[in-house]
């Protein structure tokens, strides 16, 4: 025995279902064992090579019985020759519902499609999930229009929802308007209640925007709070501005163009000085000794930050340059330094690192990143020297 079995769908066909003109062929398309249409046709190896449905002949074969037609010996069964199968498959039949008025005729395969999709006299299941209704297709249309399992669009979110599940859906639908939990009188969509409270609810308590106030006030009362606490807010904002002004870092990118060319002509202790840059109203600059100053180790470059005026105060700063980036951080009281002097490292990094960094830049510039932060400002009195010029009264004669 060989060849795998295929699925067989029984329709209960017999000679009475043969379409006009196919009566004789219909007889040869019926299995003599089950008397139904032969699906998955197989033939025996008996002398007459009789054909049957595979499921029917398999039962006979498994019981080691002879051929049901000629009683001849069967030792195997095989898929029938294509000519036999084609002749059976081309037989046309009346619809199994022809007695109810259906006029369809076609092959067995065509009838299966007809019954599944078209036949108005065929019993069919309601297509809506969960519904167990089964009725003739001609009457099922009326049922579908009233089926409690049919899908209808939610009037709020427009999503298709089974009618019998609509109440549950409305209890969770994000688009259904619901009263604000703060009883502000508004009805935001369920999914936007949080946004409503955060942005517009007049009854929601919100923190005052003034840094340091920390007071929670209903949104509708915020204007009154701002008016009543104006003096307090001014003090808080003033303190905040002072703190920010004193501690926020200032970052300066100092570019020294054509660095390699300029450094090549220098010897140890000779310097390159950047253009000045401002910080809190005072001016500073960067001084680089490409081959080191007089105290630098051999092969090391020195980098300093220098004040150009009478800046007085403690300054935290960092200098970053070179490849790989060398970063040095320090805190210096510049009130101890004279104008034109500064602070830095005599052995900042190998001289070659600065050259390498400049070579990798598009314009050959050495870029030194300066980060400055004023921790505390020591105000200095304005000094006025000398006397007010003496004014002599005008003498009239």
Q: What is the pLDDT of residues 88-139, one digit of tens each?
A: 999 999 999 999 899 999 999 999 999 998 899 998 999 999 999 998 988 8
Percent share of the chain, pLDDT over 90: 59
Q: What is the pLDDT of residues 14-62, one digit of tens each?
A: 999 999 999 889 998 999 999 999 989 999 999 999 999 999 999 999 9
The CA-atom distances, in angstroms, between 337 and each of 72, 306, 307, 348, 351 are 124, 9, 8, 20, 27
Can you tell me the distance from the alpha carbon of 235 to that of 219, in angstroms, rounded to the nearest whole number? 23
Q: Are 283 and 308 in contact (CB under 8 A)?
A: yes
235 pLDDT above the threshold of 60: yes
- The residue that leads in pLDDT, 248 or 85, is 85
Residue 355 has, within 13 A of its CA and on its CB side, a CA count of 14
- 60-64, 120-124, 234-238, 366-370: the lowest-pLDDT one: 234-238
pLDDT for the residue 160:
95
Can you tell me the distance from the alpha carbon of 343 to that of 38, in angstroms, rounded to the nearest whole number? 104
312 pLDDT above the threshold of 90: no
pLDDT for the residue 375:
58
Mean pLDDT across the chain: 87
Q: What is the pLDDT of residues 146-205, one digit of tens each?
A: 999 999 999 999 999 999 999 999 999 999 999 999 999 999 999 999 999 999 999 999
pLDDT for the residue 325:
77
Residue tagged 């005026």 (tokens) = 309
Can you tell me the distance from the alpha carbon of 107 to that of 111, in angstroms, rounded to the nearest whole number? 6
Report pTM. Answer: 0.42
pLDDT for the residue 3:
56
291 pLDDT above the threshold of 50: yes
Can you tell me the distance from the alpha carbon of 317 to that of 149, in angstroms, rounded to the nearest whole number? 74
Domains of the chain, each with CATH number or no CATH: 15-114 (3.30.40.10), 208-246 (no CATH), 250-377 (2.60.210.10)
- Identify the band that residue 143 occupies on the pLDDT scale cut at 50, 70 and 90: very high
Partners of residue 109 on adjacent β-strands: none
């Amino acid at each position: 025995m060989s060849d795998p079995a295929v699925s067989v769908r029984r329709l209960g066909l017999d000679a009475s279902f043969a379409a006009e003109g196919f009566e004789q062929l219909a007889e040869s398309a019926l299995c003599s064992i089950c008397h139904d249409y032969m699906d998955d046709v197989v033939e025996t190896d008996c002398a007459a090579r009789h054909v049957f449905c595979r499921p029917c002949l398999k039962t006979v074969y498994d019981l080691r019985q002879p051929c049901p037609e000629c009683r001849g010996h069967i030792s195997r069964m095989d898929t029938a020759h294509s000519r036999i199968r084609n002749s059976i498959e081309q037989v046309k039949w009346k619809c199994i519902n022809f007695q109810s008025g259906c006029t369809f005729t076609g092959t067995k395969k065509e009838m299966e499609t007809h019954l599944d999709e078209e036949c108005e006299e065929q019993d069919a299941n309601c297509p809506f999930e969960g519904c167990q209704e089964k009725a003739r297709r001609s009457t099922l249309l009326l049922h579908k229009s009233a089926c409690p399992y049919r899908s209808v669009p939610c009037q709020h979110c427009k999503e298709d929802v089974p009618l019998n599940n609509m109440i549950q859906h409305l209890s969770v639908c994000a688009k259904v308007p619901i009263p604000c939990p703060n009883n502000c009188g508004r009805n935001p969509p369920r999914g936007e209640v949080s946004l409503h409270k955060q942005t517009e609810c007049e009854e929601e308590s919100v923190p005052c925007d003034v840094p340091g106030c920390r007071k929670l006030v209903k949104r509708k009362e915020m204007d009154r709070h701002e008016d009543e606490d104006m003096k307090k807010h001014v003090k808080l904002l003033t303190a905040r501005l002072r703190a920010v002004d004193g501690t926020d870092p200032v970052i300066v990118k100092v570019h020294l163009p054509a660095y390699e060319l300029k450094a090549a002509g220098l010897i140890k202790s000779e310097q390159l000085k950047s253009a000045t840059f401002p910080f809190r109203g005072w001016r500073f600059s960067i001084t680089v000794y490409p081959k080191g100053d007089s105290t630098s180790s051999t092969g090391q470059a020195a980098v300093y930050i220098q004040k150009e005026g009478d800046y007085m105060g403690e300054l935290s700063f960092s200098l970053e340059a070179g490849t790989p980036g060398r970063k040095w951080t320090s805190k210096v009281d510049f009130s101890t330094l004279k104008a034109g002097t500064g602070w830095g490292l005599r052995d900042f990094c190998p001289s070659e690192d600065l050259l390498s960094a400049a070579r990798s830049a598009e314009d050959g510039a050495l870029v030194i990143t300066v980060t400055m932060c004023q921790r505390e400002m020591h105000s200095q009195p304005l000094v006025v020297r000398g006397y007010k010029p003496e004014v002599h009264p005008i003498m009239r004669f």
